[in-house]
Structure 1
Amino acid sequence: MKIDERHLVQLAAVVQSGSVTEGATMLGLSQPAVSRTLAMLEKRLGEPLFIKGRRPLQPTPLGRALADHGQAVLTASRKASALVEGFRHGRTGLVRVGGTPFFMDALISGMIAGFQNALPEVRIEQSYGYLTELRAAIIADRIDLAICPIDVLDEGSGMHFQELLPGRNVVACRVTHPLLLKRKLAGPELLDYPWIAPPPGSPLLSDLRSLVLSLGATETKIRYAGGSLTSAINYMKASDALTILPHSVVFAYRNDKAITALPVHIPHPERALGLLRRTGDPSAPAIEAFAAYIRKSFENLRHLIKRHEQSVVWGI
């Protein structure tokens, strides 16, 4: 015997409230309509659903069992409605974001935590990569958006890039590095110290090569390679090694008072950190909410990072 789930839901509402009138009100139905449903269901089953003469209404064992099934349907329906409402307003859903490792670890991970403090039902899936990999992941629909530095975005690439922060890389070192004691730093002195190699494929590695060439050399002393951001910082804290880092990453670690930047200009193309996504793609509200949160977070940081650059890097 097939029973209409809507009839079970009405039965559950009446059992829960103890009254046909209140059960009907709970579901937004009329009392006569619910009464007809219950009468029709009893006739079809050939069994009573409520004990006669009891007020408030008391279900029979069969009525209680069927009401339990109806309650499960009602609960699932309400959860589905809440899910749809949350999705429409960006309070639920999935955001798949990729980005360059050092930026993600130093800046974006904390922003993700802040976003989820406000919207805990939105799930974030984070991955790492550089521009070529991230663009391919967006095209293949493996990620929804990327946060990465870009110098040139090919026209007709099908990608939209929104700048978050000017991209500036610096020579980083520990706060007690001997080069910080010099009144005037000569560029070639950088080659006297060991270096930490930035990750392969990173713009940081290209900038290190450009710096070395600008100092009239073809190579420098690479003593450590392949580490994460945390390992590179810990290595610098315990040595005189230098490395190339985004200035915003040095800024993110300013309160630790462990690393800083040398007042050295690195020849590199003009680039910016920003949000990369496919042009014209419809996005889920949660993705839009996340992108808006990241943009707002960088708006709040932008002037602080600029001030830090002027005072710490250039001493202005």
Structure 2
Amino acid sequence: MKLDERHLVQLAAVVQSGGVTEGAASLGMAQPAVSRTLAMLEKRLGEPLFVKGRRPLQPTPLGRALAEHGQAMLMASRKASDLVTSFHHGKSGQVRIGGTPFFMDALISGTIADFQNQFPDVRIDQSYGYLPDLQAALLAGRLDLAVCPIDILDEGSGLRFQEILPGRNVVACRSTHPLLMKRKLEAPDLLDYPWIAPPPGSPLLADLRSLLLSLGATEIKVRYSGGSLTSAMTYLKGTDALTVLPHGVVFAFRKEKAITALPIALPHPERALGLLRLADAPRSPAVEAFAGHVAQSFDTLRHLIKRHEQAVVWGA
């Protein structure tokens, strides 16, 4: 015998509420409609669902057993409704985000933690990559968002870019580096020390080469290369090596007071950090909520960095 799931749900609501009127109200239905359902169900089963003459209503053993199945369906239906509501408000779902390693580790990972403190039911799947791989992943539907530095987005790429932080590089070193003791630091002084090279594929590698060539270096004195941000920072703390990093990355480590930036100005790279996504991506409230959180967090960071830069005297 096949039973209508809706009838079992109505039975469960009546049993749970102790009355037909109350059960109908909990479902947003009219009392006569629920009474007809129960009468029809009893006729089909050939058995009573409630003990006659008992108030509040008392289910028979069969009525109670069927109501338990209906209760499971009722709870599943309510959970599904809550899920839909949560999804529409961006409080549940999945966000697949990829980005360049240094920015992801220094800045985005903390932003993800802040976001999930507010939206604990949103799952974040993070991956690493540089611009070509990130663009391919977005176009193939493997990513929802990418965080990366970009200079020019090709027209007709099918992607859109939202700037969250302007480009600014600094020469990073340990906080006790000898160059910090010089009264007048000049750019050629940088050539007296070894360098940490960013990983292959990183835009910072091209920035480092351009910087050293502009200083007249005929070759790059690289002592360490290809490491992660954590390994590069650890190496930097223990040596007199220098490296080129985005100011935002160095700024993120300011509270540790182990790494700092030399007070010397560098040319601004012709690119900015931002969010990259499909121009016609399907609507995802969770992705929109996360993107908005990232943009707001970086707006705050931008003002903090600006205030910090105004307090620092950068050399020419």
- Consecutive unaligned residues of structure 2, counting only runs of 5 or more, are none
Please say if residues 173 and 240 of structure 1, whose CA atoms lie closer than 8 Å, have aligned partners that are also in contact. yes
- Greater shift, 2-11 or 115-124, is seen at 115-124
SS where residue 9 of structure 1 aligns? helix
Distance 1:68 1:312 in 2: 69
Residue 198 of structure 2 corresponds to residue 211 of structure 1 = no
Q: Give RMSD over aligned pairs.
A: 1.6
User: Counterpart of 1:141 in structure 2: which amino acid?
Assistant: G
| Residue of structure 1 equivalent to 2:87 | 87
- Greater shift, 300-309 or 290-299, is seen at 300-309
Distance 2:9 2:69 in 1: 8
SS where residue 49 of structure 2 aligns? coil
Q: What's the TM-score, normalizing by structure 1?
A: 0.96
Q: Percent identity?
A: 76
Residue 37 of structure 2 corresponds to residue 37 of structure 1 = yes
Distance 2:95 2:313 in 1: 36
Q: How far 1:59 sits from its partner (Å)?
A: 1.1
Q: How far 1:315 sits from its partner (Å)?
A: 7.1
- Residues 170-226 of structure 1 deviation map (CA, whole Å, 9 limit, x = unaligned): 110001000111122232322222221111100111111111211222322222222
Q: How far 1:276 sits from its partner (Å)?
A: 0.8
Q: How far 1:281 sits from its partner (Å)?
A: 2.4
Distance 1:310 1:132 in 2: 35
| Residue of structure 1 equivalent to 2:302 | 302
| Residue of structure 2 equivalent to 1:54 | 54
| Residue of structure 2 equivalent to 1:148 | 148
User: Counterpart of 1:50 in structure 2: which amino acid?
Assistant: F
- Residues 59-114 of structure 1 deviation map (CA, whole Å, 9 limit, x = unaligned): 11111111011011100100111111111111111111111111111111111111
Instruction: Give the total of aligned pairs.
Output: 316
Distance 1:265 1:314 in 2: 6
Please say if residues 185 and 315 of structure 2, whose CA atoms lie closer than 8 Å, have aligned partners that are also in contact. no
Pairs within 5 Å for 1:131-142? 131-142=131-142
- Residues 106-143 of structure 1 deviation map (CA, whole Å, 9 limit, x = unaligned): 11111111111111111111111111111111001110
| Residue of structure 2 equivalent to 1:249 | 249
| Residue of structure 2 equivalent to 1:24 | 24
| Residue of structure 2 equivalent to 1:63 | 63
Pairs within 5 Å for 1:256-267? 256-267=256-267
| Residue of structure 2 equivalent to 1:193 | 193
Distance 2:312 2:93 in 1: 41
Please say if residues 264 and 315 of structure 2, whose CA atoms lie closer than 8 Å, have aligned partners that are also in contact. no
Residue 227 of structure 2 corresponds to residue 227 of structure 1 = yes
Distance 2:297 2:152 in 1: 24
| Residue of structure 1 equivalent to 2:97 | 97
| Residue of structure 1 equivalent to 2:106 | 106
- Residues 20-72 of structure 1 deviation map (CA, whole Å, 9 limit, x = unaligned): 11111111111111111111111111111112222211111111111011011
| Residue of structure 2 equivalent to 1:171 | 171
Q: What's the TM-score, normalizing by structure 2?
A: 0.96
Residue 122 of structure 2 corresponds to residue 119 of structure 1 = no
Over 3 Å counting, the alpha-carbon distance change for 1:294 and 1:264 in structure 2 is same
- Greater shift, 208-217 or 67-76, is seen at 208-217
| Residue of structure 2 equivalent to 1:8 | 8
Pairs within 5 Å for 1:271-282? 271-282=271-282
Please say if residues 146 and 276 of structure 1, whose CA atoms lie closer than 8 Å, have aligned partners that are also in contact. yes
SS where residue 3 of structure 1 aligns? coil
Please say if residues 260 and 312 of structure 1, whose CA atoms lie closer than 8 Å, have aligned partners that are also in contact. no
Please say if residues 171 and 262 of structure 1, whose CA atoms lie closer than 8 Å, have aligned partners that are also in contact. yes
SS where residue 157 of structure 1 aligns? coil
Please say if residues 207 and 266 of structure 1, whose CA atoms lie closer than 8 Å, have aligned partners that are also in contact. no
Distance 1:310 1:245 in 2: 19
SS where residue 125 of structure 1 aligns? strand
Please say if residues 168 and 269 of structure 2, whose CA atoms lie closer than 8 Å, have aligned partners that are also in contact. no
- Consecutive unaligned residues of structure 1, counting only runs of 5 or more, are none
Over 3 Å counting, the alpha-carbon distance change for 1:221 and 1:313 in structure 2 is farther
- Greater shift, 303-312 or 101-110, is seen at 303-312
Please say if residues 210 and 266 of structure 1, whose CA atoms lie closer than 8 Å, have aligned partners that are also in contact. no
